[in-house]
């Protein structure tokens, strides 16, 4: 019999409906798995076994009556410790956040999951305020890669990616301001989607502004589509949120990719040096799309690396999120965060608006690009996971995490949907991700493209042994 921790959310719900097992069985198994991996991997800030089992028992009774609360009733879920979740503190990876207080409000995405009967296992790790592309913080220490404990899980949603990869719940909520669901999704061999900005409402608003998205991290695209059906849609607390989606993401998965216009950019026009094993795995994935009937053409988007403009926006956001802190509290910050805060404080309003101009021009160019192509496919990352506990790979000569994430942050600037799909492993057994980018509001197309890869057996990697 397949272990319950190996089942997708879709399969769990099917099993509950058929009476094959109960939410209590699934949640107990997920909690055992979470507790077992925690000492070595460090995916969780907090596990709440008592509350999770109580929620599971309530779910089991609803299923017994044939009255499930919603689409994910009884499914074990984790939440990145950036998003508010009532009943406990949201520390955001920082020693400057006090655990005292009522903590009585859910973020919109958490609230929707709760309404649909999800069972919350606990909170997953994040770097301080989600500021970098790896996961270590003054609060929780280093989160490690499930495929090699000496390597990083990526970040900033690294705890969520590790938890999903290792069977500690099939679904997790992450955030992505420059790649933060896609980077760890790629490094940990899972599916992760950064939806169109505003598709999943966010409250409180991020200090990083409209770079910050909330998205699903899951075993596969079908699970992510199910989760999107739950967490998408308006919430009055998010002034920039979108209206209701046009239809069900899960129901839209089956269309396949025949006739889809795919632009394949292996290196963004030679701007990115991609490790050969990564490039080969991504190319095989693209060839798979062509074999499924997509029209594939090698073509590059028309922009140069916007990293300087991104730094203005990102470092300014870091300065804003820490603005309230006094000198003693600032000494408690991650040294790298403290450094970029200092840089962010030096930018003027005109510097910020100039960076916004870069965003708008990129958005215009990508809009025109998608007049010709339905999706853009790139590597998610040019490398596989490197050593844990550092911001950049050793010996790379890089200064900041943005130096090794050139495929991810551009599409936060343009607010487009972008997903990572696992398409193989390198010679060391570390996962490789393929990125699918769609036009703004074309989240369903991104999910359908990714699902086609899973359905054909092109996507997916063997689970880790950690």
Residues contacting 11, CB < 8 A, separation 6+? none
List 123's β-bridge partners, or say none.
46, 79
| Count, residues in the chain | 466
Query: Six-digit token pair at 455?
Result: 């359905």
Q: Which of 128, 191, 126 minimizes the C-alpha distance to 153?
A: 126
The answer to whether the peptide bond before residue 175 is cis (omega within 30 degrees of 0) is no
Distance CA 417, CA 411 (A): 8
Distance CA 434, CA 381 (A): 8
pTM: 0.98
Output the CA torsion 411→412→415→420 (10° steps): 60
**Angle at CA of residue 444, ends 426 and 173, nearest 5°:** 65
Question: With b meaning 16 or more CB within 10 Å and e meaning fewer, what string describes 105-141?
Answer: ebbbbbbbbbebbbbbbbbbbbbbbbbbbbbbbbbbe
Give me the torsion for CA of 25, 31, 32, 37, rounded to 10°. Answer: 150
CA distance 451 to 265: 20
Q: List the domain boundaries for the chain.
A: 4-455
DSSP codes of every residue in 439-456: -TT-HHHHHHHHHHHHHT
| Integer Cα distance of 466 and 461 in angstroms | 14
Q: What is the dihedral of CA 30, 34, 35, 40, to 10 degrees?
A: 150
**Any idea what DSSP says for residue 312?**
H
CA 416/CA 440 separation, integer angstroms: 5
Each residue's pLDDT tens digit in the chain (466 positions)?
A: 579 999 999 999 999 999 999 999 999 999 999 999 999 999 999 999 999 999 999 999 999 999 999 999 999 999 999 999 999 999 999 999 999 989 999 999 999 999 999 999 999 999 999 999 999 999 999 999 999 999 999 999 999 999 999 999 999 999 999 999 999 999 999 999 999 999 999 999 999 999 999 999 999 999 999 999 999 999 999 999 999 999 999 999 999 999 999 999 999 999 999 999 999 999 999 999 999 999 999 999 999 999 999 999 999 999 999 999 999 999 999 999 999 999 999 999 999 999 999 999 999 999 999 999 999 999 999 999 999 999 999 999 999 999 999 999 999 999 999 999 999 999 999 999 999 999 999 999 999 999 999 999 999 999 998 6
Residue whose tokens read 């036009």 = 439
Q: How many CA atoms lie within 13 A of 5 on its CB side?
A: 18
Indicate the DSSP class of residue 236. T
Distance CA 447, CA 245 (A): 14
Neighbours of 317 (CB within 10 A): 24
The CA-atom distances, in angstroms, between 325 and each of 318, 332, 338, 347 are 12, 10, 11, 19
Which superfamily does CATH assign the domain made up of 4-455 to? Answer: Amidase signature (AS) domain (3.90.1300.10)
> What residues does 431 pair with on adjacent strands?
425
Active site residues: 80, 156, 180
CB 171 within 8 A of CB 126: no
């Amino acid at each position: 019999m397949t272990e319950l921790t190996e089942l997708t959310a879709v399969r769990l719900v099917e099993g509950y409906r058929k009476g094959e097992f109960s939410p209590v069985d699934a949640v107990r198994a997920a909690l055992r798995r979470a507790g077992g991996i925690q000492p070595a991997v460090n995916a969780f800030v907090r596990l709440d076994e008592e509350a999770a089992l109580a929620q599971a028992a309530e779910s089991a009774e609803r299923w017994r009556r044939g009255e499930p609360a919603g689409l994910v009733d009884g499914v074990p879920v984790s939440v990145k410790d950036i998003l508010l979740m009532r009943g406990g503190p949201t520390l955001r990876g920082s020693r400057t956040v006090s655990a005292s207080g009522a903590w009585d409000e859910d973020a919109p995405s958490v609230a929707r999951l709760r309404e649909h009967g999800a069972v919350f296992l606990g909170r997953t790790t994040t770097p301080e305020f989600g500021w970098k592309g790896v996961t270590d913080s003054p609060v929780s220490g280093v989160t490690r890669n499930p495929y090699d404990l000496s390597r990083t899980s990526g970040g900033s949603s690294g705890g969520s990616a590790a938890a999903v990869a290792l069977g500690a719940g099939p679904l997790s909520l992450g955030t992505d301001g420059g790649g933060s669901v896609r980077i760890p999704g790629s490094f940990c061999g899972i599916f992760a989607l950064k939806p169109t900005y505003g598709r999943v409402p966010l409250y409180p608003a991020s200090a990083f502004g409209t770079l910050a998205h909330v998205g699903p991290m899951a075993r596969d695209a079908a699970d992510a589509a199910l989760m999107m059906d739950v967490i998408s849609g308006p919430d009055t607390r998010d002034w920039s949120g979108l209206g209701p989606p046009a239809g069900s993401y899960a129901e839209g998965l089956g269309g396949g990719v025949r006739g889809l216009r795919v632009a394949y950019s292996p290196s963004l026009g030679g701007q990115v040096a991609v490790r050969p094993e990564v490039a080969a795995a991504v190319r095989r994935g693209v060839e798979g799309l062509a074999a499924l009937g997509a029209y594939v053409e090698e073509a590059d988007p028309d922009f140069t690396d916007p990293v300087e403009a991104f730094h203005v926006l990102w470092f300014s956001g870091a300065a804003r999120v820490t603005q309230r802190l006094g000198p003693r509290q600032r000494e408690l910050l991650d040294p790298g965060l403290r450094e970029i805060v200092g840089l962010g404080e030096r930018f003027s309003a005109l510097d910020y608006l100039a960076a916004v101009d870069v965003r708008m021009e990129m958005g215009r160019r990508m809009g025109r690009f998608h007049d010709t192509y339905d999706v853009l496919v790139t590597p998610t990352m040019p490398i596989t996971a490197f050593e844990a506990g550092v911001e950049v790979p050793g010996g790379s000569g890089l200064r900041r995490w943005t130096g090794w994430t050139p495929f991810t942050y551009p599409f936060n600037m343009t607010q487009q949907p972008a997903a990572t799909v696992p398409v193989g492993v390198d010679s060391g057994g570390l996962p490789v991700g393929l990125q699918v980018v769609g036009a703004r509001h074309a989240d369903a197309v991104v999910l359908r493209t990714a699902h086609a890869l899973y359905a054909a057996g092109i996507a997916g990697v063997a689970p880790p042994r950690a």
